[in-house]
Amino acid sequence: MASKHQWEIASPEPVAAGRLVTALGISPLLAQCLVNRGVTDPDLAARFLEPRLKQLADPFLLPNMRVAIDRLFKARESGETITIFGDYDVDGITSTALLKVSLEKLGWKVRHYLPHRMDDGYGLSREAVEKCLENCTNTMFLAVDCGSTNTESITWLGEKGVDVLVLDHHQVVDPAPPALAIVNPQLAADGEPCFRELCSAGLAFKMLHAVVKEGRTRGDEAMADFDLRPYLDFVALGTVADQVPLTGENRILVDSGLNRLSETIRPGLIALKEVALTKPEVGVYEVGFQLGPRLNAAGRLESADAALDLLLAPDAGAAQRLAREIDEQNKERQSTQKEITDHLIDGLRLRFDPEKDFAIVEGQAHWHLGVVGIVAGRVKDEFYRPAIVLGGDGSLLRGSGRSVQGFDLAAALRECDDLLIDHGGHAMASGLTMEPGKLDAFRERFNQVARQHMEGVVSQPTLRIDAETTLYELTMARLRELEGLQPTGQSNPAVQLIIRNLELQRPPFRMGQDQRHAKLHVTDGAITTEAVMWNVPEGETPEGRFDLAAAASINEFRGRTSVQLKVLDWRVAGS
């Protein structure tokens, strides 16, 4: 069987890795993994392996933070109410919760508004802003996780005498919207400190840091002993769920935030962990696959207010009720998502032409807007093409896109601007709105843009392998050492290794619902190690002598601890 990936094995760097081995006393394997991640300086490597909050940079180095903080303090002094206008995904919800709770505690008058995915459109839309102002007259908006492309809405608010601060990480339109201040790392000039890895939850923490720092400078007693660390649970949730790079300051924030999340005393997060059956020690997996999807489900199917209310729940009773509610919404989301995904992928398999189809664009008015982004991701994974999936929004189509490595989705949509009503996002994920009658023209144009950028590019996903190793080296001690690279995620992937010339020590054992998974026992003739393959069809497990691409981990089951390999791909030995 041909491998499903293009294997890209990192070239050994014995000199650079050797310096780290000598300076830090680490193994050559860990040193090579650090070099693969661009960490070659011993001092930086030491900081990477032991991230600390004291390593965070001055928040005022972010573009326009000074203007934003001065306006916030002016609002507190004059008794103005600030409207925090968030977004309906986990990043938007957690950053809204963080700022609402902290600013209220520090003396600001705060209200919040989360747009409704089906009713209010994408981002800081005019419809949502008008609806928000119907219930409360405001002179100040703080747009969080949105606003960088909403020129019309911000102009309209300015005409109404409303100052707008934007705290966002998405790409900014040119010219930028006329907000009083846009705190967005995308605006940093060349040579200035770069915080582009941060999502809005991280930026919200930076803004809170700037508020406290400014307050202490002004002699504000409320700020003197204010502890920012309890808010890092929100930051970890938003950062991991938004799938931004776990490098730079994100690595520091998530490392500390996951510890806070594991020990949280917030009733809402305790209840959420209970319904998700999350283990006590929360890691990236638990956020990405258990907690995050449930918080997202509320905004996908109904209103994100239920998720925000859960994070802000004052007691266990309210929290447990809300947690059960969004858990049921998540089950409904899973069912709706599976129905659309299965229908779409089955149809595409019949007509997809890899020689002509450089991108996939599909839309149906009856598809649920709340799941089209997830479906686009599944389609992208199945065919390894940029994929856009749209559902019905009244008389319009609205949807989401997911991209493959090397293809800037947001830039491609700008080349189709005349066919779209609205669009925004970043290189790997974007949203858009269009008239149904322009779907075919958009599909053709988008495919042309993809062809220009992707022709000649490998049409298989790349599997980046850190190093070649042996079963003998994969001891418990070695895996404990490699855990120093955690938290792993975007731009800091889990360690992926190649182990050559193996065979099965016994036939595969089928397990799980519908026998979809397989447990293997692989051997090099001297050592036998357990391996698992998830969602593997019959006939696709290794046979004969083979090379294995795998991620190694420590498996704990029923009090027994062992080394376990997760199979990523395999191929005939020596091929």
What pLDDT band is residue 457 in, cutting at 50, 70 and 90?
low
Tokens at residue 521, please? 């026992």
Q: Is 96 exposed, middle or buried (0-12, 13-18, 19+ CB in 10 A)?
A: buried
Q: Could you read off the pLDDT of 394-452 as tens digits, one per residue?
A: 899 999 999 998 899 999 999 999 999 989 877 888 999 999 999 999 999 999 999 99
C-alpha span between 291 and 297 (Å, rounded) = 10
103 membership: H or E segment, kind and range: helix 90-105
Interval 510-526 mean pLDDT: 92
Q: What percent of the chain has pLDDT over 90?
A: 82
Scored b (16 or more CB within 10 A) or e, 360-375 reads: bbbbbeebbbbbbbbb
- Count other C-beta atoms under 10 Å from residue 336's C-beta: 18
Backbone angles phi, psi at 182, to 5 degrees: -115, 105
Contact 84, 142 (CB under 8 A): yes
Expressed in percent and rounded to 5, the helix, strand and coil fractions of the chain are 45, 20, 35
Scored b (16 or more CB within 10 A) or e, 398-432 reads: bbbbbbbeebbbbebbbebeebeebbbbbebbbbb
Tokens at residue 257, please? 């935030």
Q: Could you read off the pLDDT of 258-306 as tens digits, one per residue?
A: 999 999 999 999 999 999 999 999 999 999 999 999 998 888 777 889 9
Contact 529, 479 (CB under 8 A): no
The helix/strand/coil state of 120 is: helix
Q: What letter does residue 76 receive in the DSSP assignment?
A: H
Q: Sign (positive/negative) of CA torsion 297, 283, 407, 570?
A: negative
- Furthest CA-CA distance within the chain: 76
Contact 532, 553 (CB under 8 A): no
Q: What letter does residue 489 receive in the DSSP assignment?
A: B
C-alpha span between 147 and 151 (Å, rounded) = 8
What pLDDT band is residue 24 in, cutting at 50, 70 and 90?
very high
What pLDDT band is residue 1 in, cutting at 50, 70 and 90?
low
Pairing relation of β-strands 497-504 and 467-469? parallel
Interval 59-83 mean pLDDT: 97
* For residue 456, pLDDT beyond 80: no
Q: What are the start-end ranges of the E strands in 104-179?
A: 109-113, 140-144, 163-167
Q: Could you read off the pLDDT of 154-196 as tens digits, one per residue?
A: 999 999 999 999 999 998 988 999 999 999 999 998 888 889 9
Interval 500-529 mean pLDDT: 94
- CA 18 vs. chain centroid, Å, equals 34
User: For tokens 């004052």, what's the residue?
Assistant: 314
Tokens at residue 376, please? 């686009």
Contact 155, 162 (CB under 8 A): no
Of 92 and 537, the one with more pLDDT: 92
C-alpha span between 402 and 422 (Å, rounded) = 17
C-alpha span between 522 and 177 (Å, rounded) = 58
Of 137 and 215, the one with more pLDDT: 215
Beta carbons within 8 Å of 161's beta carbon, 6+ residues apart: 139
Show the 3-state SS of 170-227.
Answer: CCCCCCCCCCCEEECHHHCCCCCCCCCCCCHHHHHHHHHHHHHHHHHHCCCHHHHCCC
Q: Could you read off the pLDDT of 88-102 as tens digits, one per residue?
A: 899 999 999 999 999
User: Which of 296, 278, 351 shows the shortest CA–CA distance to 88?
Assistant: 296
